[in-house]
Amino acid sequence: MQHVTLNNGVEMPILGFGVYQIPADDTERAVSEALAAGYRLLDTAAAYGNEEAVGRAVKSSGIPRDELFVTTKLWVQDAPAEANTARAFETSLHKLGLDHLDLYLMHQPYGDVYGQWRAMEALHREGRARAIGVANFSPDRLIDLIVNNEVVPAVNQIETHPFFQRADHQDLMREHGVQIQSWGGFAEGRNELFTNPLLGAIGRQHGKSVAQVVLRWLTQRGVVAIPKSVRPERMAENIDIFGFELTDEQMAQITALDTGSSLFFDHHDPEIVTWLARRRLDA
């Protein structure tokens, strides 16, 4: 497994396993199979409702804690944001059955972002979160957070796939020492990704699947990827991407697939902002 080094020196696997939209009843089995397949980076969130299942799989795996990299995410907190962020962190930690997190992300750029971030900075100083970062932050929101706070986010997890490549965002993050991480790396199959003629042709040249080509393209760009699957054979296929390399020409061909637009939702859309900012999780 290849790793990236975050801006505080913490090493993070460049490829991991995500559990978004995996039902809680299926998560423990899926994570156990992913760990057996060799994944060591696990990505969940309070909003996913499956932290406890992830924790059970981690516990039953018998894998030493220092060999795992566990990420979860903070949902938007009501005032007082600092106290509620600390409380939300403890809740996630308890559900996961862990004594620390490797990465704690602010899931959305809404609410009292500064209050939430100050609480996350405190958790980082205490060593309870080895690294802290954000998700879904546009360049302007990311820079605003950086220039007005002490700790630069280690990671920004954003929608990144062949149809929405975010190369300009990645360049900006690199300039400020922020690691880009992809969510939706397969675009959830939209735009007929898995039958795309170009991706299929590139795959055939290497004896690889479209999914493997996409993951190799992401990681070759230095993007951390967290593919999701509930099928063991797909998990094994997705992690088997380090034995080949895309050529410069192939990378350029994939670049031409970029539409420059989200396939899911726009974080600048007032209706989306309202819905996300007002959504609260059950205790």
| Residues taking part in catalysis | 48
What's the DSSP call for residue 84? H
Q: How far apart are CA 215 and CA 225, in angstroms?
A: 7
Q: Minimal CA–CA distance to 72: which of 187, 157, 184?
A: 157
What phi, psi does 136 have (nearest 5°)?
65, 25
Assess contact for 74 and 82: CB atoms under 8 A.
no
What phi, psi does 196 have (nearest 5°)?
-60, 125
Q: How far apart are CA 212 and CA 203, in angstroms?
A: 8
Rg of the Cα trace of the chain? 18
The three-state (H, E, C) secondary structure of 54-117, written as one string = HHHHHHHHCCCHHHCEEEEEECCCCCCHHHHHHHHHHHHHHHHCCCCECEEEECCCCCCHHHHH
Question: Token pair of 219, please?
Answer: 């990681």
What does each C-alpha distance from 238 to 21, 144, 160, 177, 213 come to in angstroms?
18, 36, 17, 27, 9
